[in-house]
């Protein structure tokens, strides 16, 4: 399927990434040739100049060419910055019809949801409703009461935000893909996930190290509900999605469907004969992920979120510093409130968040001055795998390459 691209005049935003998925040796079902380097129809002289000095359009087209393949069935990419922008898509909307991927398609944004959650908590801190240094037990006493003795060392709200709480994972609906897939339409409440985590007691003392776990943001979602008296979804929508202009983003709750235009997600599953089968995983009840990974979004909306957030339009600037600050007293710390710090090979520091739900990988990433911004959604065939998806590797390398 042909890769679609279009370029616009320069505006703030431009490159980077990290995320996961594994090459599984499937046979590609289609090939997507890279487009020519000529400007898109209606391109201005600024478009052409940006193509020469900004994002490397040729490298980006090559990065997403050839889809669907063993690693992904579709890819949507947005690269932008002070020297120009690039938009591209490749692959198919679904394997059954083979229609071209929708460049504006919605997808499960996974853990990029945590950026939204962190923004809500930081707003509440700015309003004096939450003290980031205070124990979370102050806000959720009933949750901790059954195992209070195990949590005599308090966990601060800030430690939930930067994944240094010491909490253990709560209950899930399965330990592997087959189990999770079999229960994909069942509902597991965030409250039960949180309660089963607290019942286990801490894995280590708060503030000793960072361990990335969704349970931290499950508790933050419950904290938001307790402090505001409203559902997490309503607060996140009012305080963040609407302010950022994210008109095509939502929180589906127990609804397993992705409403509106979208590219279907697939998981590669090994068969008894050793071969691979792609299983459609688009419909999935993600209620247990709530504040940690339930959002459905688009690449355009994630870009809007990134720009609005980094410019101080969502969180007041004093509290926004929490997103650009990693703990100085934890060796090897890389996580801040809702973000990860990443230093690119050329020395650029980017702040990013990846997301991974079965069938979908995504990222929002940017330098703090928005000179470099990358957003993508890749329909990975093993989106929860441990190895980095080959398509994503190519996107990252191309997005970080700026022609001079």
Query: Over the stretch 93-125, which tens digit does the pLDDT of each residue have?
Result: 999 999 999 999 999 999 999 999 999 999 999
Is 37's pLDDT higher than 80?
no
18 or 96, which is more confident = 96
Which pLDDT belongs to residue 36?
28
pLDDT of residue 6: 39
Query: How does residue 13 score in pLDDT terms, banded at 50, 70 and 90?
Result: very low
Q: How far apart are CA 196 and CA 219, in angstroms?
A: 12
Looking at the chain, the whole-number percentage of residues with pLDDT higher than 90 is 83
Q: What is the pLDDT of residue 249?
A: 98
Question: Do 18 and 396 touch, CB atoms closer than 8 A?
Answer: yes
CA distances 63 to 69, 172, 310, 401, Å, are 12, 35, 27, 12
| Neighbour count for residue 181 (Cβ, 10 Å) | 17
Token pair, residue 265, equals: 């997600």
Q: Running DSSP on this structure, what letter comes out for residue 350?
A: E
- The confidence score (pLDDT) of residue 70 equals 95
Is the pLDDT confidence value at 26 over 80?
no
Average pLDDT, rounded, for the chain:
88
Give the CA distances from residue 269 to residues 24, 64, 181, 257, 392, in Å, rounded to whole numbers and listed in that order: 9, 23, 11, 21, 20
d(CA 296, CA 252): 7
pLDDT score, position 172: 96
Q: Is pLDDT at 208 greater than 80 in this prediction?
A: yes
pLDDT band at 386 (very low <50, low <70, confident <90, very high): confident
Q: Note the pLDDT tens digit of each residue in 224-237.
A: 999 999 999 999 99
Residue 282 exposure: Cα atoms within 13 Å on the Cβ side: 17
pLDDT digits (tens, 9 = 90+) for 337-383: 999 999 998 899 999 999 999 999 999 999 999 999 999 999 999 99
pLDDT at 25 over 80: no
- Confidence class for position 81, pLDDT limits 50, 70, 90: confident
CA-based nearest residue to 355, from 384, 328, 334: 384
Provide the Cα torsion 162, 164, 168, 174; round to 10°: 30
Distance, in Å, from the CA atom of 39 to the CA atom of 45, rounded to the nearest integer, reads 9
Please list the alpha-helical segments (H only) found in 286-371: 290-293, 299-310, 317-320
pLDDT higher than threshold 50 for residue 194: yes
> In this predicted model, what pLDDT tens digit does every residue of 284-315 receive, in sequence order?
999 999 999 999 999 999 999 999 999 999 99
Residue 42: burial class (beta carbons within 10 Å; 0-12, 13-18, 19+): exposed
Q: Is the pLDDT of residue 169 over 90?
A: yes
Is it the case that residue 15 has pLDDT exceeding 80? Answer: no
The DSSP secondary-structure symbol of 2 reads P
> Binning pLDDT at 50, 70 and 90, where does residue 7 land?
very low
In whole angstroms, what is the distance from residue 130 CA to residue 136 CA? 10
pLDDT at 94: 98
Please provide the DSSP assignment of 171-220 as one string: --S-SSHHHHHHTTTS---HHHHHHHHHHH--SS-TTS-----THHHHHH
Which pLDDT belongs to residue 40?
33
Q: What are phi and psi of 75, to 5 degrees?
A: -150, 135
Question: Is 70 exceeded by the pLDDT of residue 24?
Answer: no
Q: State the pLDDT at residue 402.
A: 61
Separation in Å, CA 167 to CA 155, 158, 191, 192: 9, 13, 15, 15
Residue with structure tokens 């499937």?
Answer: 26
What's the pLDDT score for residue 272? 92
Using DSSP, state whether 287 is helix, strand or coil: helix
Please compute the mean of the pLDDT values over residues 194-223 and round it to a whole number: 98
Which is nearest to 19 in space by CA: 294, 250, 353, 304? Answer: 353
How would you class 401 by CB atoms within 10 Å of its CB: exposed for 0-12, middle for 13-18, buried for 19 or more?
middle
pLDDT band at 3 (very low <50, low <70, confident <90, very high): very low
Examine residue 338 and say whether the peptide bond preceding it is cis (omega within 30 degrees of 0).
no
Contact between residue 298 and residue 249 where contact means Cβ atoms under 8 Å apart: yes
Work out the average pLDDT over 247-259: 97
pLDDT of residue 404: 52
The closest of 247, 365, 248 to 310, measured between CA atoms, is 365
Starting at the earlier edge strand, list the strands of the sheet with 84-91: 4-6, 84-91, 72-81, 372-380, 360-367, 349-357, 340-343
Over its C-alpha atoms, the chain yields an Rg (Å, rounded) of 21
Reply yes or no on whether the pLDDT at 155 is more than 50: yes
143 vs 193: CA distance, rounded Å: 11
> 218: Cβ–Cβ under 8 A, 6 or more apart, which residues?
170, 190, 193, 194, 197, 288, 290, 291, 292
Task: Write down the pLDDT at residue 53.
Answer: 59
């Amino acid at each position: 399927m042909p890769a679609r691209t279009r370029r616009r005049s320069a505006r703030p935003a431009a490159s980077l990434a990290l995320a996961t998925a594994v090459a599984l040796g499937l046979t590609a079902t289609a090939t997507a040739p890279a487009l020519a380097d000529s400007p898109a129809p209606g391109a201005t002289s600024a478009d052409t100049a940006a193509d020469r000095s900004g994002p490397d359009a040729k490298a980006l087209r090559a990065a997403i060419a050839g889809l669907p393949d063993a690693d992904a069935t579709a890819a949507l990419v947005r690269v932008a910055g002070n020297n120009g922008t690039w938009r591209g898509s490749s692959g198919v909307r679904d394997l059954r019809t083979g229609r071209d991927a929708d460049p504006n398609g919605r997808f499960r944004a996974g853990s990029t949801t945590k950026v939204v959650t962190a923004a809500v908590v930081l707003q509440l801190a700015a309003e004096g409703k939450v003290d980031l240094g205070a124990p979370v037990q102050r806000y959720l006493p009933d949750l901790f009461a059954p195992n209070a003795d195990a949590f005599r060392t308090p966990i601060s709200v800030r430690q939930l935000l930067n994944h240094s709480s010491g909490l253990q994972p709560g209950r899930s609906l399965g330990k592997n893909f087959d189990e999770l897939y079999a229960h994909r339409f069942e509902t597991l409440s965030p409250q039960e996930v949180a309660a089963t985590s607290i019942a286990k007691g801490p894995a280590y003392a708060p503030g000793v190290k960072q361990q990335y776990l969704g349970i931290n943001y499950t508790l933050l979602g419950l904290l938001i509900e307790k402090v505001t008296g409203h559902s997490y979804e309503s607060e996140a929508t009012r305080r963040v999605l609407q302010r950022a202009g994210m008109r095509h983003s939502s929180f589906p709750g127990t609804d397993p469907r992705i409403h509106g235009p979208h590219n279907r997600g697939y998981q590669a599953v090994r068969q008894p004969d050793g071969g691979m089968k792609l299983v459609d995983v688009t419909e999935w009840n993600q209620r247990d992920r709530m504040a940690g990974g339930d959002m459905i979004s688009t690449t355009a909306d994630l870009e809007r979120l990134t720009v609005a957030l980094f410019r101080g339009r969502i969180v007041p600037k004093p509290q926004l510093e929490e997103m650009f600050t990693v703990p100085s007293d934890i060796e090897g710390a890389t996580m801040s409130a809702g973000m990860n710090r990443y230093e690119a090979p050329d020395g650029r520091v980017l702040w990013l968040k990846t997301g991974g739900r079965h069938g979908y990988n995504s990222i929002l990433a940017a330098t703090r001055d928005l000179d470099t911004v990358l957003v993508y959604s890749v329909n990975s065939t093993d989106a929860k795998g441990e190895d980095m998806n080959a398509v994503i590797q190519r996107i990252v390398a191309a997005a970080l390459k700026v022609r001079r």
